[in-house]
Amino acid sequence: MAVRLLKVSSLATAFVSSGFYLYNKDPNDLSIVRFGHAAATTAVISYDYLTAFRHVQYGTEAYSSLSSKVHRRSAERLRDLCCANRGIFIKVGQHLGAMNYLLPEEYTSTLKVLHSRAPQSTLEEVRRVIREDLGKDLPELFASFEEKPRGAASLAQVHKAVLHDGRTVAVKVQHPKVRKQSSKDIEVMELLFKAVHWLFPDFAFMWLVDEVKRNIPIELDFLNEARNAEKVALMLSHLTFLKIPRVHRDLSTNRILTMDFADGGEVSDRDYMKRHGINVNDISQNLGEMYSEMIFVHGFVHCDPHPGNVLVHKCPFSNKTEIVLLDHGLYQVLQPDLRLDYCHLWQALIRADMSEVERYSRRMGAGDLYPLFACILTARAWSSVNTGISSTPLTNSEDVKIRTNAALYLPQISELLNRMPRPLLLLLKTNDLLHGIEVALETRASSSSFINMSRCCVRALASHKKSTARSRMQWFRITAAERLNLWRISAYELYLWWVTILSWLPGC
């Protein structure tokens, strides 16, 4: 304990000296305040964890109760830091809030609010960005422009506006200081994460800093987001339930993105769906189909499906339910070998083929930690993975068990994430957010998502085999096998539907 307290003292000294090193150009620079706030919060949280358990025996009820309190107040301090420093801090906080498999519930529930608590830029700041990038003032570009943003995120905010020809659009404007601050914020985070790892060796989150370094410059380029939106709209044009707002290129720059305005409720809002007569099971099934297509068939994956970026809407004319996909700044491109390995792995998980689960998990870098990888990927206990996730209903006790065990396996989880191929980290984040939506909609026990995944895996693997077929006969055999497998999946889906109907009948 004395050694660790000495480390805290050394840590504070290092923070001060590093702060002057990072921000020695202007002593009045706001970055110094941001760094000081981050360093102080890190030191307070570290000290709390070091001293809170001195007189409590590990494994007792008192220890468990105290752990929950320390987790809660530390999470609240971290949340307040993210809200105060804004920008990249909120982005990282949102990422941590989705890690149900890694962090205690006190952290995930507290940090999830960051999706709806992002700070806003003033209207004057918005005007200035638009004037600098488009060369005109608001009245010259828009017939009307709502002063209050419809939504604010870590990097930008969205305003509803009407063009002079009467079309309604959504104007996404980057926060003016976020680009300049991002590089300094990443340096601060890297320093703090290394310091905490030095103090608590089990805390190994440098992979998260690496991801932020790689992805933030991409997300700050709104023309890249425009290209992604146009590409995915064309790629998934056959999904009639999906709506991607059209980009207005003449009103878009690196810091401004103008798209058709799309209204709707958040995908996790069950009350909204009930009021508008939207079937939550249909939404969950369509969401699963959409992401299965992206991941397994195309290898081009929207990696930020938090509820604010996925809206549901019932068209008043056709009465059809639509899913509106927003925020296309971050996509992951999967190389063919990784995508096909991922297909094989999910097929093995659905069939409970443990030898194949081990084989493809190892191919993806999991090594001897492949059981842990399978549990993280499916958000299920190892016993359920062994018996078949598609045939074993998820229970509340299993969910509680997963959360409880996550804290016990923190070092192994951190090691696993550090050795994973980088593209898989964003897929895990996507899985976490989709699991969170299923929990909110209470559809996680449904097998429809596994059926959609099975179909997409069959199609993806068959497409690859046909592309390498050496004869017409071989091509026809692969096609026949594909159709047979798809027919089997449809038959199983029909069987599940019939079982459900029978369960509703009296006396059954």
Q: Catalytic site residues?
A: 304
Alpha-carbon gap, residue 431 to 378, rounded angstroms: 8
Residue 431: name the closest of 380, 377, 381, 394 by CA: 377
The residue type of 386 is N
Question: What is the 8-class DSSP label of residue 368?
Answer: G
Long-range contact set of residues 202-209: C-beta below 8 Å, sequence gap at least 24: 202/410, 202/411, 202/414, 203/410, 203/414, 204/411, 204/414, 204/415, 204/417, 204/418, 205/414, 206/418, 207/417, 207/418, 207/420, 207/425, 208/92, 208/95, 208/96
Place of tokens 């190389």: 335
Q: Helix (H, G, I), strand (E, B), or coil: what is residue 248?
A: coil
Question: What is the 8-class DSSP label of residue 328?
Answer: -
Rounded to 10°, the helix 61-85/30-51 angle is 180
Alpha-carbon gap, residue 249 to 261, rounded angstroms: 14
Residue 34: name the closest of 95, 94, 81, 90 by CA: 81
Place of tokens 């980088």: 422
- Enumerate residues 6+ apart whose C-beta is below 8 A from 50: 1, 4, 5, 8, 199
The residue type of 455 is R
Q: Helix (H, G, I), strand (E, B), or coil: what is residue 187?
A: helix
Rounded to 10°, the helix 410-419/396-408 angle is 80
Alpha-carbon gap, residue 339 to 297, rounded angstroms: 8
For residues 307 and 115, the answer to whether their CB atoms sit within 8 Å is yes
- Enumerate residues 6+ apart whose C-beta is below 8 A from 356: 344, 345, 347, 348
Q: Half-sphere exposure of residue 204, counting CA atoms within 13 Å on the CB side? A: 13
Place of tokens 């969910």: 399
Rounded (5°) CA angle 221-435-245: 40
Rounded to 10°, the helix 448-467/472-504 angle is 180
The residue type of 106 is E
